[in-house]
Amino acid sequence: MNMKRFTARLSLRARLYLFSGAILTLFAINVSTHLWGSLARTESLVAYRDTVNAAQLTSDLQQSLEAARQQVLVLSTLRETTDEPLDANEQTAALTDLENIEARLRRLGTIGTEGTEDYYRRLQESTTRLISGWKAFYRQYNDTDAAIDVDSAVNFNDAIQRLGELDQRQEFLAIQRSNAIDRTIALTDRITVIGFITTIAVTLVLVVVLIRATNASLQRLKTGAQRFGSGDLTYRIRENLEAGEIRDLAHTFNDMSGKLQIAIDEVQSAKADADSANAAKSMFLANVSHELRTPLNAIIGYSEMLQDEIGDPGDVDRDQFRHDLGTIIFSGRQLLSLINDILDLSKIETGKMQVSLEWFQPSALIFQVCDALSPLVNQYNNRLELDIDNDAMGEMHSDPGKLQQIITNLFSNSCKFTEDGVITVAATMDNKWLTVVVSDTGIGMTADQQSRVFQAFVQAESNTGVKYGGTGLGLAIVREFCSMLGGHIELESKPGVGSRFSVQLPVDPESALANA
């Protein structure tokens, strides 16, 4: 009752100090008990370890003494039956082995535990006499006049007996140390458990008190979390009213709401980008449908005209017939080119586009492409100029099909955006690189248009497909093919001046394989 009245008059801070002091006292008692037990364990374990080491050393000494005696007996027999002297190296090695035995004997004395001094002293006296006789044997072995008595069975048996007594004593002490360790562990464990239970009881009381003290702070955190959950990310918990971990938690909530607001803004920006990409794809689909319908309408229209013309009586106008067939073939090839572009881009995006390497002449391929596409030059009243360094051009190891498509797309692109101008195709080669440059004097591009022109489904301007035609895939495919072949493409352009596309591809086969 007196204790209840005493605690009732204490403030919350005083109660915290009181309970904290009680916990710290109990904790100090537990720590002291644990340290005392640990120290006792350490001392007992050290003594036990020394005893075990001494027992091991005793066993090694016994084996060494037996081996040394066997060697002495063998040499003694040889000395009596033969006149062969003992080699100096063998004599030195034997003496060294005896000195090592003496060194281990001295070491055994340094690690001896209390209660083994007398046993060790008797062992040392017996072993010293035995080893002294063996040393004299080795030193006088080559002296044929010297009479050496190596029959040291009494000294040897005495030394072995002393070793056995010492080993038994050490084993007895080891058992005593083990029992002492068990008793120390049991005592310290009991004290630690009692202190631990008492500490838990006091801590539970403190927790009940602290719950009331921290309720207000948690309520403020709850209010902040509810405001954040309702979408009010501008709300901030007052951190200056809190302290310690509660203040850190409030700061974390405030920081989280700020980062969440930033993330929402980024999501909205990403949504705008996605909408823009969808718009670009919608424009691409519109352009593709227009581009596909144009050659299809020509193919269907001229085919119907040819069908009607064949059904009419009279002779067929061969020139007109040939012209209509040429238009159908041209439209079919145009349609096939559009479909191939779409399929190539699909293969590139899915990683199914393969590179087929072979040796070929790039100069002949460039001439072939330019000759096949010459009608495009005449269509817009342009002039084609070829600047191919035939002396430097040799064979290269690459994919001729992809190189042909690269030049075709660049050539077609220049013809499309140039009228009454000049289309220039230049090529040169050294021992490492093939360089092909396709330039024109067409409409050119701004810096902003150049940054978008190599993107798939994107043209320089939104109305480019309507005005000039095309799907916006050609240059994207060119860039991907250059990368697959281990090369790259560069663009230089100015509005109203023209554009210059420079392609560099590796000639060396290993370089092509490494970068394909």
Residue 3, in any domain of the structure: no
Measured between alpha carbons, how far is 393 from 430 in angstroms, rounded to an integer? 8
The enclosing domain of 417 has a CATH number of 3.30.565.10
Residue 126, in any domain of the structure: yes
Residue 226, in any domain of the structure: no
Contact 116, 173 (CB under 8 A): yes
Phi, psi dihedral angles at 490 (to 5 degrees): -125, 150
Residue 186, in any domain of the structure: yes
Q: Mean pLDDT, the chain, as a whole number?
A: 76
* DSSP H or E stretch at residue 442: none
Domain count, the chain: 2
Residue 255 token pair? 């920081």
Strand boundaries in 357-497, DSSP class E = 358-360, 383-388, 396-398, 422-429, 433-440, 488-494
What local confidence, expressed as pLDDT, does residue 500 receive? Answer: 93
pLDDT per residue over 500-510, tens digit each?
999 999 987 56
Residue 446, in any domain of the structure: yes
Measured between alpha carbons, how far is 457 from 349 in angstroms, rounded to an integer? 13
For residue 61, the enclosing domain spans 26-200
Residue 8, in any domain of the structure: no
3-class secondary structure for 465-481?
A: HHHHCCCCCHHHHHHHH
Q: Which of 112, 466, 482, 458 is nearest to 276 (CA)?
A: 458
Neighbouring C-beta atoms of residue 376, cutoff 10 Å: 18
What is the identity of the amino acid at 273?
A: D
Domain boundary among 141, 171, 200: 200
The enclosing domain of 196 has a CATH number of 1.20.120
Whether 28 has a pLDDT exceeding 70, the answer reads yes
Q: Which range among 40-44, 46-50, 156-160 has the greatest average pLDDT?
A: 156-160
Domain boundary among 184, 200, 216: 200
Domain boundary among 168, 200, 232: 200
pLDDT per residue over 242-264, tens digit each?
666 667 777 787 777 777 778 77
**63 versus 333: which is more confidently predicted?**
63
Residue 249, in any domain of the structure: no
Residue 378, in any domain of the structure: yes
What local confidence, expressed as pLDDT, does residue 439 receive? Answer: 93
Neighbouring C-beta atoms of residue 190, cutoff 10 Å: 11
Helix (H, G, I), strand (E, B) or coil at 498: strand
pLDDT per residue over 362-380, tens digit each?
998 998 888 888 888 888 8
What local confidence, expressed as pLDDT, does residue 301 receive? Answer: 77
Whether 458 has a pLDDT exceeding 70, the answer reads no
